[in-house]
Amino acid sequence: MSNFTGHFKTITAHKLRVMKYCFKVGLYKQGLLHDMSKYAPVEFCAGVRYYQGDRSPNEMERLEKGYSAAWLHHKGRNRHHLEYWIDYDPRLDFKMSGMEMPVNYVVEMFCDRIAACQIYQKDKYTDASPWNYYVKSLDHYVIHPKTQALLEKMLLMLRDEGEEKTIAYIRREILKNCR
């Protein structure tokens, strides 16, 4: 399989998987529009060039160039990424800080993490996978405490109580005022 085909299949499978989870929790518009920027030339061409199939091509672009133009483009256009919400906080003497994310985007980020782990880990995926991936990167996140608490609540519930209970809880409790 060519890098073009492999990358296209990977990002499309991921997008469809996130859409499935967004639909399950009631975020229909976000599910439909999720990660559309991955098909833009700056992201898609880098994805083809650095495609490996078992992790994000942005990592390889970053290793080669010292930055990832694809990632900078992507995180600046997709509100479900915590990096989209980093800004200078006037309450903290204009220090770079994570701004509080709207709940619907935190839920989309949760769906995104499940789908990414499922796509890359394939049959090794468990309900603990998104939590384990999150914990590995936690030391360098710039994230608002309320956003972090909500994301962790969902990831831990998924890990400890399973997908079905977590999705039902998100629909019933977390998103009850967002629709």
Give first-to-last CA distance, the chain, whole Å: 42
Question: How far is Cα 44 from Cα 74, in angstroms, rounded to an integer?
Answer: 10
Instruction: Map residue 95 onto helix, strand or coil.
Output: strand
Query: Could you tell me if residue 179 is inside a domain?
Result: no
Residue 161 lies in a domain: yes
Q: What is the pLDDT of residue 101?
A: 98
Query: Does residue 1 have a pLDDT over 90?
Result: no
Residue-wise pLDDT tens digits, 125-178: 999 999 999 999 999 999 999 999 999 999 999 999 999 999 999 999 999 987
* 42-80 pLDDT, tens digit each: 999 999 999 998 888 999 999 999 999 999 999 999 999
Q: Which two tokens stand for residue 57?
A: 């091509």
In the chain, how many domains are there? Answer: 1
The residue that leads in pLDDT, 109 or 178, is 109
Q: Is residue 10 part of a domain?
A: yes
Q: Give the pLDDT confidence score for residue 53 in this predicted structure.
A: 83
Give pLDDT tens digits for 18-35.
Answer: 999 999 999 999 999 999
Q: Is the pLDDT of residue 179 over 70?
A: no
DSSP string, 20-75: HHHHHHT-HHHHHHTTGGGGSHHHHHHHHHT--SSS-HHHHHHHHHSS-HHHHHHH
* Six token digits for residue 11: 């990002």
Q: How many CA atoms lie within 13 A of 100 on its CB side?
A: 6
Does residue 17 sit within a domain? yes
